[in-house]
Chains A and B, each alone.
Chain A
Amino acid sequence: MLVRLVVTVLFVLLLWLAVRKARLIPTRGQSLVEMGLDFVRVQIVEQTLGKERAKPYVGMFTVIFFTILAMNLAGVVPFLNIAGTSRMGLPALLALWVFVTYLVVGVRMHGAGKYFKAQLIPPGVPWPMLILLIPIEALQLFVIRPVTLALRLVANMMAGHIMLVLCFVGTHTLFLYSDAIMKPLGAVTFAAGIAITGFEIFVAVLQAFIFTLLSVVYLNFSLEESH
């Protein structure tokens, strides 16, 4: 996907420019980058995991958040016009990263037996219920969490892309190819396109936030003593 490469290059270049001459007294660009990193570190990771436990994972979630954010925002950048996350590959890859991380961390921290027991068998439940609950919990742990993570993101971005395409193609068609009486309707679709562009910027940030936050929450399940 070409758009992902372009976004990657632009994004890395922008960040590099912002912090190339990083100093104690920050420039505007540096402040902005620091603010973004601080937001992920404090608001997302440290508030969920606690300051001490968060330390080893801050970098990973910072990468996930900013990758998704940059790719999402590509959806409203002229000439790119499609989010890098609106194809399944990237969200699936990031979800896989989170999935593997929380499994490995959980097993390494508690041991495989104890970890899966804690995750799959809810305490204080009468044993006949376990026949039902263990498959549900297993589905939750191995399938639902990572898949929803990826699907939520890809569906949001794809829907946003389709709406934008609809509005602008509609505007184009109405203005240039339809009967005179239909032409004013093009103004409506154009206005809707502007509104949806704004909305898409909001969704881009929101989905990056949600993806990262849920990843941290899932990791937190693995770090905690009992489910």
Chain B
Amino acid sequence: MISADHTPSGIEIFIPHVYDWFWSLLVTVIIAVFFFKYLLPKLNAILDERAAKIEGGIALAEKVQAEAAEAKAQTDAELDEARKVAADIKEGASNDGAAIVAEARAKAQADAARIVEAAHRQIEAERASAVVSLREEVGGLATELASRIVGESLADDARQSRVIDRFLDDLDAGLAGENERVVASSTDAEPGQV
């Protein structure tokens, strides 16, 4: 491979000839031009593109993640809202139920009161009618008894009715008053009457 006229030896080995310089320069320039003009720009462009793509991918992933987080937050909010609504409905229903129960109870109480009052009134009426019929019967009996005892016929209607009324008035007064007074008045009245 030595293209000089003679084989170099000694210090000549380390002193390049002109042709050596020339060819070295030529190949270095060729390689340098290839690297600077073609290889490095091309690969750098590719590397930049790849970096951009990776960054884009990362950005996209972050965006998707953010969207997912947002969607989750939204879902959570909606869920909370729904829970609140459900709680409101529940509370309203329980309030309504309580109101219904209270109303029903009030109505039932009113009904009960009404029934009781009606019963009272009926009892009162029956008692009154019983009093009336009793008064008539007792009047008859007393009259009969008295006429039998006295032996005197109280045939005279006016007198008979006067006597009966007076007796019943006394009786009523006795019933209305206190026991002692009833006793007193009856004992007072009896001698006068008889």
Contacts and interface: CB of A to CB of B under 8 A. Distances in A.
Interface of A: 1-5, 7-8, 11-12, 15-16, 19, 22-24, 26, 33-34, 37, 59, 62-63, 66-67, 70-71, 82, 84, 87-90, 92-94, 97, 151, 154, 158
B28 A59 contact: no
B188 interface: no
Contacts, number: 97
Contacts of A63: 28, 31-32, 35-36
Contacts of A59: 35-36, 40
A93 B24 contact: yes
A8 to B, nearest CB: 4
The majority secondary structure among interface residues of chain A is helix
A67 B27 contact: yes
B23 A88 contact: no
Given A16-B38, A88-B14, A151-B14, A8 B46 contact: no
B21 A1 contact: no
Given A16-B38, A33-B43, A34-B47, A82 B1 contact: yes
5 contacts: A1-B20, A2-B3, A63-B31, A66-B31, A89-B23
A88 B46 contact: no
A15 B39 contact: yes
B76 to A, nearest CB: 40
B21 A93 contact: yes
B7 to A, nearest CB: 12
Given A12-B30, A82-B1, A37 B43 contact: yes
B30 A8 contact: yes
A153 B86 CA distance: 86
A88 B13 contact: yes
B32 to A, nearest CB: 5
Q: Nearest 5 CB-CB pairs, A to B?
A: A89-B20, A89-B24, A89-B16, A90-B24, A88-B16
